[in-house]
Amino acid sequence: MPKVALTTLGCKVNQYETQKILESFEARGFEIVPFDSPADVYVINTCSVTQSAEAKSRQTVRRAARQNPNAIVVMTGCYAQFTLRRGERVAEAHLVVPNPDKLHTVDRLLENFPELAEQLRTDALTSSPSKIFPLGHPSGSEEKSRPTPGSMDDEPIPNAEPRPLKRTRAVLKIQDGCNVFCSFCSIPYTRPVMRSLPYQEVLAEAQALVAHGFREIVLTGVLIGDYGEHSGSGGPDLPTLCAMLSEIEGLERIRISSIEPTQVSDALIEQLATNPKMCPHLHIPLQSGDSRVLRTMNRPYDQAFYLDLCRRLRERIPHLAISTDIMVGFPGEDEEAFENTCRVVETVEFCRAHLFRYSPRPGTPAEAMAEQVPEHVKAERAQRLQAVCRAVQLRYATRFIGQTEYVRVETRSKLSGLLTGTSDHYLQVEFTGSPTLVGQLVPVRIQSVSPEGILGECVTR
Ligand code: SF4
């Protein structure tokens, strides 16, 4: 059997799609191996959201080529799409699959390398059926999330590292495409078609995930609040879909990965407030707390709108966890605008904020804007804002001292022996417990909060 190794850079949408690509390779009879193992084919699902993500995408392609100089290296994803548009080449990539075509990567590979198709045919004749069609299932975990501008989930892009495929929490992509055209973002150019997964398929996938042992599902999409809008079938919107999903027996938690401020509807707030399966957490990209900068970013809201939304949310759900993405050093951001962003961070009291410095994306309107902020100013502001965010994050977490939080246990630290997991309110909690609890939802009383971390103790149910 030919061996294939896959890896992902970037957002949860990319992670999810890599799983889908993996399944299609499995279905054709490829053996899936870890990315750092010798393989016949390497597939890199790339990201282009920052210059750093692009550089890491290129490095990963080169790493694959070094690992086995005889392997076929395939590149797809947002960065791959950009190289096609700009007529650039990454010398080590033998095949570049356009982003809209990525779920057919295996077909494009076999069309371009017929000798592989021939090998698969020969292997199929000599293998047992169970080997030809191994069972695979879409799975994903939040691990650490990250922000893509706007829809970027919850983790800073500059750290976008290739991700392993093993997950503890399932990610389910229900929507694709963006038509907002924020002036800094390249996503609408690479994912222009608005699509929603029909709700029947969402429910079927969720049921299958639960049958495979997943108890928590993270709903993801590029513009997830748009779910149902472009389905053309009069299907449910996002809040209704959440209500339908919560009917699935065995599914304990539903989390929404990232939602634009203008798409948090009253109906969604009611779902969060009344549906016990919904995690009390929303990731709402702020990007800037200054109305003038938001306008030049082409973000469809201002500071007052964002603050009012957070106020209404916390009025209805008092300790709601709100995390965010903030861009530092967007063109035209002066000291006053930056201070406005700091003030919004203080006021909202985010549970987590992912900061990244603005870097121009080729072909976007912001690239050509005057008043680009010098790198040293961006660095200095990022440092200051980081300090504000850390203080606010601690303040938010101290609300929970003495309270019991449900924690999804993700790992056991080899160093400290403590279990680590994410609570309903998106706190990273450490506590003593048996490794058999990994993957489970465990009640944990929060004992202390400090810059070193949040400690708790497991409460007997
Ligand atoms: S909403 Fe803005 S930041 Fe988010 S994907 Fe669309 S254009 Fe990009």
Instruction: State the pTM of this model.
Output: 0.73
Residue 146 — pLDDT band, cuts 50, 70, 90?
Answer: very low
Domain membership of residue 149 (yes or no) is no
14 with 73, same domain: the answer is: yes
Q: Which residues pair with 405 in a beta bridge?
A: 444
For residue 142, what pLDDT is reported?
28
Residue 124 — pLDDT band, cuts 50, 70, 90?
Answer: low
d(CA 407, CA 426): 9
Contacts of residue 13, defined as CB under 8 A and 6 or more positions apart, other chains included, come to: 148, 151, 173, 176, 220, 221, 222
Task: Determine how β-strand 441-450 pairs with β-strand 428-431.
Answer: unpaired
Whether the pLDDT of residue 15 is over 80: the answer is: yes
For residue 149, what pLDDT is reported?
35
Q: Note down the domain range covering 431.
A: 404-458
Whether the pLDDT of residue 134 is over 70: the answer is: no
- Per the prediction, the chain carries an average pLDDT of 85
Tell which one of 222, 258, 356 to mutate to probe ligand 1, the residue whose CB is within 8 A of the most ligand atoms. Answer: 222
Q: Which of 350, 371, 398 is the last residue of a domain?
A: 398
Q: Which of 354, 383, 398 is the last residue of a domain?
A: 398
Mean local confidence (pLDDT), 167-173: 75
For residue 19, what pLDDT is reported?
84
Q: How much distance in Å is there from the Cα of 152 to the middle of ligand 1? A: 8
Q: How much distance in Å is there from the Cα of 274 to the middle of ligand 1? A: 29
Least confident among 142-146, 166-170, 285-289, 377-381? 142-146
Domain membership of residue 139 (yes or no) is no
196 with 331, same domain: the answer is: yes
Q: How much distance in Å is there from the Cα of 216 to the middle of ligand 1? A: 26
Residue 125 — pLDDT band, cuts 50, 70, 90?
Answer: low
The sign of the CA dihedral 311, 314, 315, 318 is negative
For residue 188, what pLDDT is reported?
87
Mean local confidence (pLDDT), 7-19: 85
Domain membership of residue 140 (yes or no) is no
Nearest CA owner, ligand 1 atom 8: 185
Q: Which of 66, 97, 132 is the last residue of a domain?
A: 132
341 with 291, same domain: the answer is: yes
Tokens of 41: 């084919």
For residue 167, what pLDDT is reported?
47
102 with 236, same domain: the answer is: no
383 with 262, same domain: the answer is: yes
With CA atoms as reference, report the closest residue to 258 among 180, 366, 363, 342.
Answer: 180
Mean local confidence (pLDDT), 204-217: 88
Nearest CA owner, ligand 1 atom 3: 150
For residue 168, what pLDDT is reported?
59
User: Phi and psi at residue 336, in whole multiples of 5°?
Assistant: -65, -45
Mean local confidence (pLDDT), 226-236: 77
d(CA 328, CA 304): 19
Residue 137 — pLDDT band, cuts 50, 70, 90?
Answer: very low
User: Torsion angle, CA of 410/415/416/420, rounded to 10 degrees?
Assistant: -10
Q: For the segment 20-67, what is each residue's pLDDT rounded down to a tens digit?
A: 899 889 888 888 888 988 899 999 999 988 888 899 999 999 999 998
The sign of the CA dihedral 266, 269, 271, 275 is negative
Residues 118 and 110 sit within 8 Å (Cβ to Cβ): no
Mean local confidence (pLDDT), 162-170: 53
Question: What burial class does residue 115 get, using C-beta atoms within 10 Å of its C-beta: 0-12 exposed, 13-18 middle, 19+ buried?
Answer: exposed
Nearest CA owner, ligand 1 atom 2: 182
Q: How much distance in Å is there from the Cα of 181 to the middle of ligand 1? A: 6
Residues 456 and 444 sit within 8 Å (Cβ to Cβ): yes
Q: How much distance in Å is there from the Cα of 222 to the middle of ligand 1? A: 8
Residue 231 — pLDDT band, cuts 50, 70, 90?
Answer: low
Domain membership of residue 55 (yes or no) is yes
Q: How much distance in Å is there from the Cα of 253 to the middle of ligand 1? A: 26
Least confident among 124-133, 264-273, 405-414, 449-458? 124-133
Residues 358 and 331 sit within 8 Å (Cβ to Cβ): yes
For residue 171, what pLDDT is reported?
83
For residue 123, what pLDDT is reported?
65
Tell which one of 49, 148, 151, 327 to mutate to probe ligand 1, the residue whose CB is within 8 A of the most ligand atoms. Answer: 151
206 with 327, same domain: the answer is: yes
For residue 333, what pLDDT is reported?
97
390 with 334, same domain: the answer is: yes
For residue 140, what pLDDT is reported?
29
Which residues have CB under 6 Å of ligand 1?
Answer: 149-151, 178, 180-182, 185, 187-188, 222-223, 260
Domain membership of residue 141 (yes or no) is no
Sheet holding 3-8, edge to edge: 31-32, 3-8, 41-46, 72-77, 95-96
Give exposure, 126-143, as e/b (b: 16+ Cβ within 10 Å). Answer: eeeeeebeeeebbbbbbb
Residues 99 and 78 sit within 8 Å (Cβ to Cβ): yes
Domain membership of residue 145 (yes or no) is no
For residue 77, what pLDDT is reported?
92
Task: Report how many domains make up the chain.
Answer: 3
Least confident among 85-89, 92-96, 200-204, 386-390? 85-89
Q: How much distance in Å is there from the Cα of 432 to the middle of ligand 1? A: 40
Least confident among 38-52, 123-137, 190-204, 264-278? 123-137
Q: Quick one: what percent of the chain has pLDDT higher than 70?
A: 89
Whether the pLDDT of residue 154 is over 50: the answer is: no
311 with 415, same domain: the answer is: no
89 with 63, same domain: the answer is: yes
Q: How much distance in Å is there from the Cα of 225 to the middle of ligand 1? A: 12
Nearest CA owner, ligand 1 atom 4: 150
Mean local confidence (pLDDT), 229-249: 87
265 with 369, same domain: the answer is: yes
Q: How much distance in Å is there from the Cα of 148 to the middle of ligand 1? A: 8
Tell which one of 48, 146, 157, 180 to mutate to probe ligand 1, the residue whose CB is within 8 A of the most ligand atoms. Answer: 180
Q: What is the CATH number of the domain that holds 417?
A: 2.40.50.140
